[in-house]
Chain A
Amino acid sequence: MIAYGCLGILFLFIIIKIAVYFGRQKKAPTPEDLDETLLTISNPRGDQTS
């Protein structure tokens, strides 16, 4: 029975992981967001003038 319990835990683990991946996919930053993040870091204190 413990073996099936482990299998059940594994099943739950996989389902949770897949759900987490789906959730992250929706909230994943776009390349433009990443560019903005980097520019904010490299141009601190409103130093950025374009």
Chain B
Amino acid sequence: MNKKKPVRLRPYYKTRYTYEKLRVCKHCRSFTVLWEDKCASCGKHMLIPVMEQAKINAKRSMQSERLISLLITLAAVLFSQTFLQIILCLLGGIALTALLWWFQRKMLETETRRQLDKLLRISERRIIEGIYLNLTTASAAIKDDEQLGYEILREIATIVHNDRIRLQQIMLLQTFVLRKDMELELDPLMLDGFEPALAEYIGELAKIKRELVKNKAIRYVLLYEREILRMKNGAGIMTTVAGAAVRMKKYVDSYPDFIHRYARQLPQERFLRLYQLVRRNPNQSWNGLRDEVSAIYNEKYRWDPEFQKWE
């Protein structure tokens, strides 16, 4: 087994919307989801967020309309026969152009979104090519520097959702020493099929960052319980996940049988948490879990001072 490496991952900036991660080169129109300064296609420092490009497009289109409006005003002035007509046409033209400008300013946000939609649709092929280029960068990086490779894949995974990328991310994560202060994720990495590396990763997160173990992960270990138990540390993984599940009552409500099966193996601190939950909810039997907790308590922790506080 490879020795795990200590790493310090670069911060991951989560954006509200996925498209905020996408950037386009103003020079060659290539797309990228990575943080690079230079465009990987043309080498120019002209990458801007797609939203900014859409805003430029919207403003350009509005500018053309204002120009047409001013040209018609100019034509009106040129065709004027008297000074009064010149003044009237000039004032009228300027007033109407100002009205158009005022409306355009009000509609800039809507127009930008419309332009972005147009940009995405007409650039479909370029976006896919950009993603492929990013994936090539990731593959090259993985060979030299696994940490950089993971960071690149994490960015790509924002817009590309497939099991191949998720699996690569899990495999890379398994080569790092995971720490509590790391920006880790679990739900976006969940796979459809059984993968021992994912089961190990869930088990590790259940130890160091149990708040990440949610319904999806619990359902996954339950679905593949038999396969996980056949793994070298399978029982340990199931127990740590059960230990993570007892942190919230909703998980005990949803998976009492699962917790019942592993309650006996829970470390003291996790069993104390379960014991507290059981004591706080005297009306719930949770399918026999209450009796099991009582039995374990009587066998192992009856005289433990930590538990005496809850008597």
Binding site for B on A (CB under 8 A): 2-7, 9-11, 13-14, 17-18, 21, 24-25, 28-35, 37-39, 41-44, 47-50
Contacts and interface: CB of A to CB of B under 8 A. Distances in A.
Chain B contact patch, size range: 35 or more
Contacts, number: 117
A50 B131 CA distance: 18
A47 to B, nearest CB: 5
B17 A7 contact: no
B77 interface: yes
Given A3-B77, A3-B81, A31-B17, A37 B121 contact: yes
Contact of B124 (A4, A39, A41, A48): A41
Does more than half of chain A's interface fall in helix, strand or loop, or is it mixed? helix
B79 A13 contact: no
Does more than half of chain B's interface fall in helix, strand or loop, or is it mixed? helix
Nearest to A21: B107
Given A17-B65, A21-B104, A29 B113 contact: yes
Interface stretch (B92-100, B142-150, B224-232, B243-251): B92-100
A44 B85 CA distance: 60
A42 B69 contact: no
B127 interface: yes
6 contacts: A10-B69, A31-B19, A34-B113, A34-B116, A38-B159, A42-B159
B93 A38 contact: no
Contacts of B19: 31, 34-35, 38
Interface in B117-146: 117, 120-121, 124, 127-128, 131
